[in-house]
Amino acid sequence: MKSFLQLIINPGSTSTKLAVFRDNDPIFSETLRHGGEELKKFPGVTGQFAYRRRLVIDAIAKSGVKPGELDAVVGRGGLLRPVPGGTYLVNKEMLEDLEAERRGSHASNLGGLIAHSIAGELGIPAYIVDPVCIDEKEPVSRISGMPENPRESLFHALNQKAVARRAAEDMGKNYSEINLVVAHLGGGISVGAHLRGRVIDVNDALAGDGPFTPERSGGLPAGKLVEMCYSGLYTRKEMMKKIVGGGGLVAYLGTADALEVEERIERGDEQAKLIYEAMAYQVAKEIGACGAILKGDVDAVVITGGIAHSRMLVGWIEERVRFIAPVRVYPGENEMEALAAGGLRVLAGLEDVKVY
């Protein structure tokens, strides 16, 4: 059986993660760090393209991997128009949307751009896998109660889909045959209802709704929020900071570090315990809502993400949701593995590549 060699590129706000996978096994990996002062020299995210591309090429040259042996280059998916889940060929239309930042500016936009540039020189395909803009929501889930403000799909699609497939495999099933509720716990928190391979509903994990997180406010009492916006006490920028970056644990406890919060709880900090448990409470509440969306037909509740390492938080969640279905925990994000697996499914003919 033929094996496949893939270069994986995952740009973040202050780093670019690289790896080379032979099938599902990494044979090289490196994280390139970018200082804040270094990146300030560039006019926005897309202005960093040439700089980051050169660093990637230099790192591969030092790795001993021969570029001519690569079968594909896979980049992290960026902010694109809503699309169904899957592995997408990076094409002209996608490049135009990423370069123009039509759906927003984020470092992940560079994933497809750099992948396509390197792959083009080698005469091999460039892919992205399950970008954050994956949208498989059903029409009824888009209704918010305010026609001008429909509910949108923006979540940790890459990791949610990857752990859903892994959980299905561990259960001896196919992802397309079962129903799951998947909760990703990180700086942002998303909880999705997976109906036989489709995420039919999920909270907007950036600035929309759902549980509060280490640094995001989650859903809020709407009337009081409007009053704050028009109170004259805050600018628009300050209010957005309260929602993303300065909400959640940061707002209540002054830190987004879950480990620090747990240490405070262990030292007897009752306020820290109340707020941390409230975050678990809200996650459990969202899991329960997804259980209702799936009409109680749930094969497993899956918990993943960086904070899934926390036995304390996961324990509180599990106490409230284990009645719905067995709980499976897969800590971490494993983004590089998920990107490689998406590319491999297409290269091995297990899944059709999708066109943007």
Query: Tell me, what CATH number does 165's domain have?
Result: 3.30.420.40
Q: Is the pLDDT of residue 56 over 90?
A: yes
CA distance 89 to 81: 15
177 and 317, same domain (yes or no): yes
User: Does residue 142 fall inside a structural domain?
Assistant: no
**195 token code pair:** 């109906």
Angle between helices 49-63 and 109-122 (to 10 degrees): 50
User: Does residue 147 fall inside a structural domain?
Assistant: no
Contact 101, 109 (CB under 8 A): yes
Number of folded domains in the chain?
A: 2
β pairing state of 87-89 and 126-129: antiparallel
User: Does residue 151 fall inside a structural domain?
Assistant: no
Residues, the chain, total?
Answer: 356
347 and 283, same domain (yes or no): no
Instruction: State the pLDDT confidence band at 106, using cuts at 50, 70 and 90.
Output: confident
pTM: 0.90
Domain that holds residue 83: 5-135+335-355
CA distance 168 to 166: 5
Instruction: State the pLDDT confidence band at 235, using cuts at 50, 70 and 90.
Output: very high
Q: Is the pLDDT of residue 246 over 90?
A: yes
